[in-house]
Amino acid sequence: RPSLLHPCHFAERLVMSGPSSRRGSAAHGDAVGSLKARFRELDMNRDGMLDRAELAMLLRKGLPDITDREIRGLFLCVDTDGSGAVLFDEFVEFLFAPPGSRDLPEDTRPPCQLVDPAEMEMLRVVSEARSGGGAPQPECLEVRGASYHPELNGAYSRSGARLNGRPIFVSEEPPAALFYGWTPGRRRVGWFIAGRSPPSGPVMKYVVCSPSPAAETPDQCCATWETLGGNRDKRMFCLAAGADVGEPSAEAGADAAGHCDIPEHELAQSDSVGAHPFDGFDTLEEQHSEEEAGEDAEEAGACSGDLTWTGEPGLEAADTVGADVKDFIDPDFPPEEPSLGSSMGIHDLDPSLCVADRWTRLPRLHEAACLFHTGVAPDDICGAHSAANRWFLSACVAVAEFPAWVQSMFGQTLELRPDGKYRVRLYHPGKKKFLHVTVDDLVPTKSGAPAFAGITMDGEVWVALVEKAFAKLCGSYANTAGGSTAFGMLYLCGGGDAESWSCSEPGRWRRSHTEWRRRAAHLGNAAVDRRLEHMVEDWAFCGKDQIWSLLRHCAGMCYPVACTARADRAEEGGLSSDRTYPLIGAREVQLDSAVLRMVFLRDPFGVSGWKGRWSNGCTAWSRNTAVRTALQFQPAGDGTFWMSFHDFAQFFQTIDLVKKAMPLQGCHRVKLAEFMAESDDNSALDDFALPSLPFSP
């Protein structure tokens, strides 16, 4: 048979096969995303590595007659260090290595080796895309949204000087410098804005700082900008000047008539937008103000010596953490059976029924373990599809669209701690305030892999730590089973209350909201009694137009939103009902007297499988240049995709959200566009109203 086992063909097989792929896409990013998605699909036990059995399972799906000798040869080719498992870096190095350096061992090489130059070119392009393609660093930056110090908004140009190995950017009016550095004791490491940059040494005075040690330039920061006094400016963000964030094009509507082919059912009349029968919509911003003050106060008090980041800038976690991390064991949540829960314990009767067989330090589960790699992303959340706490992990997916918020949950800790001790900020719905939960880094494992939330292919462990903190808050891992995604986002974000909208019938949505039916006996207990969680149906109904206005409002206010597809139609559209799709944007494209409503979603587990109209490979983009221009459409390999709101209403069943404004720095470019569009013209988001949500005092 023609050899599909030569590394070139093997690479094509891994990248282009499976349910996450989309053949024929011209986007380089798609191939990168497909590669990551295939690695995830292969990694059955979510340990961030592939063993020979997992590799064989994939190959035998397409080549049932493949021999064990051939599988062994391929595995030996990829497993360059002979560890018996393949890390993602080895996986990528194998795929992108020069052809002559990755030949199969002589005794396993098939007799016929066909090398397609087109395949090699595709792999070269993918390799360049993954590494950044050698793109130059920005010459100009733009700061937007600063509210504590609005004078910082504006353009910053590269000065030509460098400090601490990174460029300095300057603004002329008012004079200001944007530079990389650290404060005394390295309590803050990242990018600073001050009147001028220091010649050397630590930063003594500054206006704002984004503690992002891994960011090469300020536009890559993934942490909230903070003032010298500790106040977080959630609306402030930095981006490369002229960066394509998809901001609405003023010419889109005028040019649309001659370049659009839009079905009538996808369009809404301009005069119907914002005309709704409800009034008195309470966005709960008043309740937020007191809560956010407490949130900042806890973080300011948490900046003690045991929480500061003490590593050198750019230092790898493997160097910061010693080979033997075993100092701290949480006495309040010990690595014992009660912490798992009675139904999940480690026992000797039937090991196959056990969820876990031991407790393992997180740094021991990956040779390059780290708290955060280069930032936070929704695809960091790894967990079995059948996980009992999938509702909580689904909430983590939606919140991970806001990297700066996730990083702030760990205070000033940005790297693995040598003693394995962490404090994670979570919200207590009963107490209606944030708590800091102290945990160690011992997690339940089975057969050497995490029993619950997994570790990313880059070794990131933040999800497992957040999950453990929540398990401690609940009393055990068993107590985290079953719940509402809306409640999950409340635990992660606060906000007073969260909502869940369900499509009860076509065009009709019903609302439920979170309610904590507390009792006096539980108010003094820091642990959460999840029996007090209730989703209360408040008999608020609305139609399609109101739901669209809700999505636009949430996108503009930077509220986390998680959408779940209908079980009876998901497969038809290439979607899956076993996961949530975070909402990133909701945009309107004006087409003469009508409006095209579009939503921007993400499949966090790989390249999107959405195969309907406006999918990344759909010809509708080439036939409708005005829409493509207005939305600045760019196919990507990060699982994001556009779809019309008409299709959204057909294929999605549930919308979960929490009304808590999230920080913008590090968000997707489309999310930044939502804010920029809102700040330029607020009228589109101010003309609608929904039923007011009852708030339990």
pLDDT confidence of residue 60: 65
pLDDT above 50 (res 435): yes
Burial of 198 per CB tally in 10 Å (0-12, 13-18, 19+): middle
- Closest CA relative to residue 154, chosen from 179, 176, 181, 139: 176
The predicted-structure confidence for 491-503, as pLDDT tens digits, reads as follows: 999 987 899 999 9
pLDDT confidence of residue 253: 47
For 516, phi then psi, to 5°, come to -105, 105
Average of per-residue pLDDT across 253-263: 56
**Residues 583, 534: contact at Cβ < 8 Å?**
no
How many percent of the chain have pLDDT more than 70? 64
Average of per-residue pLDDT across 428-438: 91
pLDDT above 60 (res 6): no
What is the spatial distance between Cα 599 and Cα 673, in angstroms, rounded to a whole number?
13
Strand partners, 143: 154, 238
pLDDT above 80 (res 10): no
**Residues 552, 684: contact at Cβ < 8 Å?**
yes
**DSSP label at 307?**
G
**DSSP label at 460?**
B
Buried b (16+ CB within 10 A) or exposed e, 323-339: eebeebebeebebeeeb
CA distances from 89 to 31, 93, 132, 366 (A): 16, 6, 16, 12
What is the spatial distance between Cα 18 and Cα 14, in angstroms, rounded to a whole number?
8
Task: State which H helix or E strand residue 581 sits in.
Answer: strand 580-591
For 285, phi then psi, to 5°, come to -65, -30
Report the chain's terminal Cα–Cα distance, integer Å. Answer: 72
Q: Which tokens belong to 459?
A: 């070794």
Residue tagged 């000798």 (tokens)? 69
What is the spatial distance between Cα 582 and Cα 601, in angstroms, rounded to a whole number?
6
pLDDT above 60 (res 508): yes
What is the spatial distance between Cα 625 and Cα 488, in angstroms, rounded to a whole number?
40
Q: Domain extents for the chain?
A: 35-95, 157-221, 337-482, 498-518+530-678
The predicted-structure confidence for 76-96, as pLDDT tens digits, reads as follows: 777 666 666 776 656 656 655
Average of per-residue pLDDT across 689-693: 42
Residue tagged 């999605």 (tokens)? 652
Average of per-residue pLDDT across 348-366: 75
3-state secondary structure 111-149: CCCCCCHHHHHHHHHHHHHHCCCCCCCCCEEEEECCCCC
Average of per-residue pLDDT across 46-70: 66
pLDDT above 60 (res 384): no
How many residues make up the chain in this entry?
697
pLDDT confidence of residue 549: 94
pLDDT confidence of residue 270: 61
pLDDT above 80 (res 562): yes
**Residues 18, 38: contact at Cβ < 8 Å?**
yes
Task: Classify residue 50 as left (phi > 0), alpha (psi -120 to 50) or beta.
Answer: beta
Residues 6+ apart with CB under 8 A from 9: 3, 114, 116, 119
Average of per-residue pLDDT across 352-356: 65
pLDDT confidence of residue 159: 93
How crowded is residue 151: how many other Cβ atoms within 10 Å of its Cβ? 11
Fold of 498-518+530-678: Cathepsin B; Chain A (3.90.70)
pLDDT confidence of residue 208: 96
**DSSP label at 416?**
-
**Residues 509, 541: contact at Cβ < 8 Å?**
yes
Strand partners, 48: none
**Residues 244, 669: contact at Cβ < 8 Å?**
yes
What letter represents residue 302's amino acid? A
- Closest CA relative to residue 440, chosen from 331, 344, 345: 331
Residues 6+ apart with CB under 8 A from 524: none
How crowded is residue 559: how many other Cβ atoms within 10 Å of its Cβ? 25
**Residues 232, 409: contact at Cβ < 8 Å?**
no
3-state SS assignment for residue 270:
helix
Q: What is the DSSP string of 514-537?
A: EEE---HHHHT-SS--GGGEEEEE
306 versus 683: which is more confidently predicted? 683
Domain 35-95 has CATH 1.10.1200.10: no
What is the spatial distance between Cα 396 and Cα 377, in angstroms, rounded to a whole number?
10
- Closest CA relative to residue 158, chosen from 142, 144, 135: 142
What is the spatial distance between Cα 615 and Cα 622, in angstroms, rounded to a whole number?
12
Q: What is the CA radius of gyration of the chain?
A: 25
pLDDT confidence of residue 102: 46
**Residues 42, 18: contact at Cβ < 8 Å?**
no
**Residues 430, 385: contact at Cβ < 8 Å?**
no
CA distances from 564 to 130, 231, 553 (A): 30, 35, 19
Task: State which H helix or E strand residue 162 sits in.
Answer: strand 154-163
pLDDT confidence of residue 606: 64
pLDDT above 60 (res 305): no
pLDDT confidence of residue 540: 84
The predicted-structure confidence for 532-552, as pLDDT tens digits, reads as follows: 999 999 888 899 999 999 999
pLDDT band at 404 (very low <50, low <70, confident <90, very high): very high
Handedness of CA 146, 601, 577, 263 (dihedral sign): positive
3-state SS assignment for residue 359:
strand
pLDDT band at 374 (very low <50, low <70, confident <90, very high): confident
pLDDT band at 175 (very low <50, low <70, confident <90, very high): very high
What is the spatial distance between Cα 695 and Cα 697, in angstroms, rounded to a whole number?
6
Task: State which H helix or E strand residue 584 sits in.
Answer: strand 580-591
HSE value, Cβ hemisphere, 13 Å, CA-based, for 690:
28
